[in-house]
Structure 1
Amino acid sequence: MMGHPELVTEMEKVELGPLISTEGLEQLQNKYVQSVRKSVSEWMHKALQVELQDWQRDQEPDTDHEGFYQTSLPTIITQMLEENARVALMIGESLRDQTIQMGLYEMENLLNRFREALVEFGKEHRRNSSNNKNKYYLHYLLASISNCIILKKSTESLQQQQSSPSVGQLSRTPPNPLAALDRAVRRACRLVMDHLLLDLQPFLPGLLTRPWLVQGDPTPKLCCVLERHLELYGRVRPPCRQRLQEEAQWLMVVEYVRALMQKRLVCRSAEERRHLAQQMVQDDQQFREILHGLEGEGSVPEVNPLALLLVLADFIRLKDPGMLTLEVSGLAAKYPDIGEEHVSVLLDIRGDVSRDIRGSVLDLLEQSAPPLPAGYRPIFTDILVPPSTMAFCLPTAKCA
């Protein structure tokens, strides 16, 4: 029975059968997986608590050998799940697959709690933003994004080790840690953009005003804030680094156009229209200088949002108001989500549009409103136009 030579002649291997029945073996494996699951759950809980404590540190997160921000969380989780899978494989592939499946469930649970912690982290920072309690808030958000990228690679590696995606089911619904990862990353990226907007906010009210037209402020200050944030985004692992850089471009352009829609500046002459357009072009150049270094990293989207500033500058600079109908037609073709209210404000800013031309332009826009093409990212949809002081007068109708 143990390979003893004197017993070989007395026993036939085919007659021995397994030492443990199939049902007994299944029970033992299930008991083992549940025991490991309890241990994994406890370790993940402890790792998350350590992560939350790290977020409160009064210093930057650690960096890896490539210079990317990171904390200990992904290393602990990855090593634990990989080691459990390796040990289970010593028994058999079936147990290994069950152990991996269990680990993926626990990973999904952890990531859901991680996302909730990010939400609370953001709320806490907003409450304490005035006293600068956590000056490394942004840095740890960026570290969290990098951590998620590492965990994604680990998750994909574990999934590839499984013999079959259907073995060892512990629940009717299969685990989906990758979806939980995506939700956590999107939440962290949203918080990063919220923080950028918060830093830009003090300077936005001075944009596109008469002092801005004369002195150029506060564009240089906006550029300093944007440049500082973009530099920190370089500490995030690809592809999220590029994603953050793109989102920062969109946010800057949206806020710029939003300021334009406030009608803080209405031109009183052709010279003022020329000056306004020229200043917008200069602002565009300053933004592009900051973003120029990103082009080599493949972070510039196919549709560069900064191009909109030049298009709007051309609209304001146009000398012949009679050509505005054609100009609006081209504007709507490039940006099909632009609305009548946006065009109406642009006409007001010009200050030289007659009632008849205004009516013709807005009628054309209403008749030729194209559907949004597939893959088009709206930019005007999120830009609300303040209500007119004479709200009872429709833009295309004559007031009685």
Structure 2
Amino acid sequence: MSLYICINLSVQATVTTELNQVLDEEEKRWMETLHIEEFQITLAKTVIQRLQVDLERSASINRSLGSRVAQCSLNGLADFLYSFQRKVEMFHEGMQSGMFGDNEDGYVSKTIALVNCCPPFRGFVQRCAQCDPSVSEDSLRRANKALDHIVQLGVRVLSERLYLHIRPFSERLVKRKWLSNTEPYEQIEALIKEHFKKYHRMDSPPYQLLVAEVHRRVVMEYLRSVMRGRIICTSMKMRKRMAGRLRDEGKQIKVLFKDLESPSCWLDGAIAHLSEIIQLEDVPSIQMEVGVLVREFPDVRKKHVSAILNIRGLTRQSERQEILNIVKDLESSEAAGGSMPTRERLLFHEVPVTSEVPCLNLGLSRVALSASACFTALRPRQRRGRKTSQETTEDGL
């Protein structure tokens, strides 16, 4: 028994003292090498190799001793990984505050390198826990929680930095000029491809989390542009034109993220369904398409469908109500059944409807004139000549 105690104490001292020293030295190196693009660091390899020596030595004596040393290693490793998490958090806080200067390329590569430590650590943690799963449960949970946090932080940092680059072009989507100008989307796609030349250096499975988050963000921001209602279709020709642009760019997004190996193919139908709702002519077909949309994206609400009906210029209240009732009925049936979408399958809940078209109870042929009349009634009458209804609509866009 004295041998067991000595070995356990030796392992514990190794994890809490020697490995923390390795971590301190590694943290110092992060700061000194920010000007260098490196996507892999040796921290995980160094720690695992050092602990592996004790595991193999104890297992060669007998199975019971090997199990004890594995448990001791896991306990100490859980504490070590929490310290690693805290240092990663401080590194990101320092970079985002500008404490270490402007080293974007080095910051991106170092973020990926830190995340790349997590898969080998997770595999080693799992191996230690298998020696005695019932005893290891708490340490396993703490270790995985720290690793999850490091991965999530890295994914958030990288996806947000990419979004800052594409945001100016997202603001130009789904405006009147967008109908005849493909540049905004083309610039977004080019920026994503350029960033993923580096993002591809992230190991799996964290890479899948990163590309899935970028995929979700791009689709969500596209939907936000649609829901702003900056285009109102006043003819069948215009509806077909807008629906075609949505359909084409939706397909391009699908192909882009398929090439990037996104696991979130469930996102691909959202833009396509909106395109169909805008283009379809008869109410039953629109109702069917709305039903499919809501079943695939259960967080769609009446305000989202109403905004699309506004965009397509559907003004008859009776027809609008028939279509909106589909959303209401599906919401009621889901509430009764208690089924709710998981967090991973939410999309529309973060998509606000930021504009409403007034006077939609009037006929389609009078939309432009009615909108102008409603606007005029809310402002003081001016002496100079009025603009035409077409000019008023275009100014608003």
TM-score by length of 2: 0.77
1:133 corresponds to which of 91, 99, 103: 103
Q: Secondary structure at the match of 2:117?
A: helix
Contact 1:337 1:378 in 2 (8 A): yes
Q: Does 2:257 align with 1:282?
A: no
Q: Which has the larger radius of gyration?
A: 1
SS across alignment from 1:218: helix
Unmatched runs of 5 consecutive residues or more in structure 2: 362-397
Q: Distance in 2 between matches of 1:289 and 1:360?
A: 35
CA distance in 1, matches of 2:256, 2:216: 14
Q: Which residue pairs with 2:37 in the alignment?
A: 60
Q: 1:379 pairs with 335, 347, 352, which one?
A: 347
Q: Is the 8 A contact 2:12 2:72 kept in 1?
A: yes
2:120 matched to 1:150?
A: yes
* 1:346 Cα offset (Å): 0.9
Deviation, 1:223, is: 0.2
Q: How does 1:1-400 map to 2 (within 5 A)?
A: 25-26=1-2, 29-56=4-31, 57-61=34-38, 69-89=39-59, 92-128=62-98, 132-160=102-130, 162=131, 164-165=132-133, 173-176=138-141, 177-294=143-260, 299-301=262-264, 303-320=265-282, 323-369=285-331, 370-371=333-334, 372=339, 377-386=345-354
Structure 1 unaligned spans of 5+: 1-24, 62-68, 394-400
Task: Flag the 1:174–1:50 CA change in 2: closer, same or farther, 3 A.
Answer: closer
Deviation of 1:389 after TM superposition, in Å, equals 8.8
Identify the residue that residue 5 of structure 1 maps to in structure 2.
none
- How far apart are 1:373 and its partner, in Å? 6.5
Question: Does the CA-based 8 Å contact 2:11-2:73 persist in structure 1?
Answer: no
Q: CA deviation at 1:253?
A: 0.8
Deviations 1:24-78 (A, max 9, x none): x34x5335423432232222223323433444421111xxxxxxx3201101110
The answer as to whether partners of 1:118 and 1:188 remain within 8 angstroms in 2 is no
Distance 1:130 1:347 in 2: 50
Check whether the contact 1:266–1:348 (CA below 8 A) recurs between aligned residues: yes
Between the aligned partners of 1:117 and 1:137, the Cα distance in structure 2 is: 15
Tell which deviates more after alignment, 254-263 or 281-290: 281-290
What code does the residue aligned with 1:41 have? T
Aligned equivalents of 2:27, 2:44: Cα separation in 1: 13
Between the two proteins, the alignment pairs up a number of residues equal to 350
Deviations 1:83-123 (A, max 9, x none): 12233346544443332222212221222233333333333
Q: 1:251 Cα shift?
A: 1.7
CA distance in 1, matches of 2:93, 2:9: 36
Equivalent residues of 1:196, 1:226 under 8 A apart = yes
Q: 1:124 to 1:318 in 2, by over 3 A?
A: farther
Deviation at 1:340, TM superposition (A): 0.8
Q: Could you tell me which residue of structure 1 aligns to residue 395 of structure 2?
A: none
Q: Distance in 1 between matches of 2:29 and 2:273?
A: 46
Change (3 A) 1:357 1:165: closer
Partner Cα distance (2:103, 2:156) in 1: 21
Q: Call closer, same or farther: CA 1:333–1:117 in 2, change over 3 Å.
A: same
1:70 partner SS? coil
1:316–1:131 CA distance, 2 compared to 1 (3 A):
farther
Instruction: State the TM-score, normalized to the length of structure 1.
Output: 0.77
Report the Cα offset of residue 306 of structure 1. 2.0
